[in-house]
Amino acid sequence: MKKKLSRVIAVVSAVLMLGTVATSCKKDKPDPSSSAVEEKYDFNGMKITFADTWGKDLTPGKDEATDRLIEKIDAVEKKYNIEFEWVKVDSGPYWDNMASVIMGGEPFGDIMYSFPWMITDWIKAGAVKDAGAVAKSLGIDFHDGTWNDFIVNETTYKDAVYGFSKKANTIQSGLLYNKRLFKEAKLTDPNELIKSGKKWDFATMEEYAKKLTKHDAGGNTTQWGLSTMDAHWLMTAFMVTNGGDPVDYSTTPPKFNMDSPKNLAGLELFNKMLNTDKTIYLRPAGGDWKVTVDAFANGKVGMMRAEEWVIEYIRDVMTENGTNEDYGLTYFPMGPDAKDYVDESYGGNSYFIPASISNEKAQAALLVYRDLLDPSDDGYTKEERYRNTAEALFPDEASCDVYVDLMLNNKIKSNGVCRVGLREPVMELAGQFMDNSGTPQSIIAANKPTFQGYIDDSAYTQVVQDG
């Protein structure tokens, strides 16, 4: 095993955090009806690499997950007759030189990770292989329930699938709330409201935020009703949880859609709570991400829109403070035009195959990825796996039930912003709301031509139009 480990330069993430591995094969069209079709492949010692930017310590004995991964690497090397290497790349070269190194025939890895707002430009440059075609040649179905449908759908352009992941979705607009502050304000627990059949909606959240906001004798705010780490994603959450779609993908090119009634209704409440009620606490431009997050963790904010990794940070801080029983998870409230609770998402990590590697190597890479990063061999059902994650994040059963419902029942809804290059413009748009520079209607109307121009010129639109 020492010889095997010496080939692992650096690893990219934990089994549960990474979602990409590459392999290559000799049979172009295996029989998908065979239960052991992968056993037919022998890659003659071909070297397969995964590339990422954060690395992973594969020291034997470090923990159970690491030892399990080491065993899987050893088994996969023997199974496919490949040499596996997991490579860490410095973030600067990784992001800045991605397309050029791929097109130059020297990609960082045979499977690499990206974000939705970056991969589109690489697709346009011809640097990303159609992973859907590779999967089809192997009899692999990206929609068989074992792959992340959200990621696959986010990276599908026409009939080509460029991204994939075995990693489960994560919470991105979950609403944390401070139970102690709720009790002090004599507010009914949101999960109890939902259980009793009462409304946990926009109006109730606004009412709660007002009662949770406090001021000192000088009029300074000492406690806030609602906060978030990123103002722009809170803004889009108000649209999506009201049944809105900030970008309409039913047309080619897609259409800027924030002036639709559903989206405007969400923006109106966001603006009202921010600038009229003054119950939303947002970090100033250039402020450290911890400003608002620490405010919630230290009992200065009643409700917090938070992504899963932020929830982990808050859990750790509140555990250290001895207040970890004070927080819970509920749904972001349902807007008046919505039909169900959803978790608004801008997309997670997707993994891709560089265009410059051979079809054979691409096949091998995808097989290796599937075998190494598939969590289903842990002996748990999907629901049990979600439940285990929830129990590690939250102190109470009701919060765990919310998490499992969102994950298990596919209530993750994309805001559609990043695919068409609107991530940075949306950040600027949120800044205009923070500056109270107009009504939602006037702000959106003033920005609509510019935003539609971004969409028209986006790599996504050009790829879809040009094929």
Q: Tell me, what CATH number does 269's domain have?
A: 3.40.190.10
Top pLDDT among 36 and 443 is at: 443
Please indicate, yes or no, whether residues 180 and 70 belong to a single structural domain of this protein. Answer: no
Please indicate, yes or no, whether residues 261 and 145 belong to a single structural domain of this protein. Answer: no
* Three-point CA angle 359, 362, 365, nearest 5°: 155
Please indicate, yes or no, whether residues 188 and 89 belong to a single structural domain of this protein. Answer: no
Please indicate, yes or no, whether residues 116 and 208 belong to a single structural domain of this protein. Answer: no
State yes or no: pLDDT of 15 exceeds 50: no
Query: Beta 174-178 vs 301-306: how paired, if at all?
Result: antiparallel
Please indicate, yes or no, whether residues 363 and 323 belong to a single structural domain of this protein. Answer: no
Please indicate, yes or no, whether residues 216 and 311 belong to a single structural domain of this protein. Answer: yes
Domain assignment present for 194: yes
Please indicate, yes or no, whether residues 367 and 408 belong to a single structural domain of this protein. Answer: no
Alpha helices for 322-439 (secondary structure H) = 359-373, 382-393, 397-408, 423-434
Q: Which residues pair with 228 in a beta bridge?
A: 305
Domain assignment present for 383: no
Per DSSP, the three-state class of 360 is helix
Spatial contact of 172 and 344, defined as CB atoms under 8 Å apart:
yes
Domain assignment present for 215: yes
Which structural domain range is residue 399 located in? 174-345+395-466
Domain assignment present for 387: no
Cα–Cα distance between 353 and 121 in angstroms, integer?
Answer: 14
Please indicate, yes or no, whether residues 333 and 356 belong to a single structural domain of this protein. Answer: no
Give pLDDT, residue 117: 72
How sure is the predictor about 18, in pLDDT bands with cuts at 50, 70 and 90? very low
Element (H, E) at 119: helix 116-124
Compute the radius of gyration of the chain from its Cα atoms: 23
Domain assignment present for 72: yes
Q: Which residues pair with 48 in a beta bridge?
A: 84
Please indicate, yes or no, whether residues 99 and 241 belong to a single structural domain of this protein. Answer: no
Q: What is the pLDDT of residues 395-423, one digit of tens each?
A: 999 999 999 999 999 899 999 999 999 99
Cα–Cα distance between 239 and 270 in angstroms, integer?
Answer: 9
Please indicate, yes or no, whether residues 127 and 250 belong to a single structural domain of this protein. Answer: no
How sure is the predictor about 352, in pLDDT bands with cuts at 50, 70 and 90? very high
How sure is the predictor about 39, in pLDDT bands with cuts at 50, 70 and 90? low
Structurally, the chain folds into a number of domains equal to 2
How confident is the prediction for the chain on average, in pLDDT?
90
Domain assignment present for 216: yes
Please indicate, yes or no, whether residues 362 and 460 belong to a single structural domain of this protein. Answer: no
Please indicate, yes or no, whether residues 105 and 194 belong to a single structural domain of this protein. Answer: no
Q: Specify the DSSP class assigned to residue 138.
A: T
Domain assignment present for 390: no
How sure is the predictor about 394, in pLDDT bands with cuts at 50, 70 and 90? very high
Domain assignment present for 185: yes
State yes or no: pLDDT of 10 exceeds 60: no
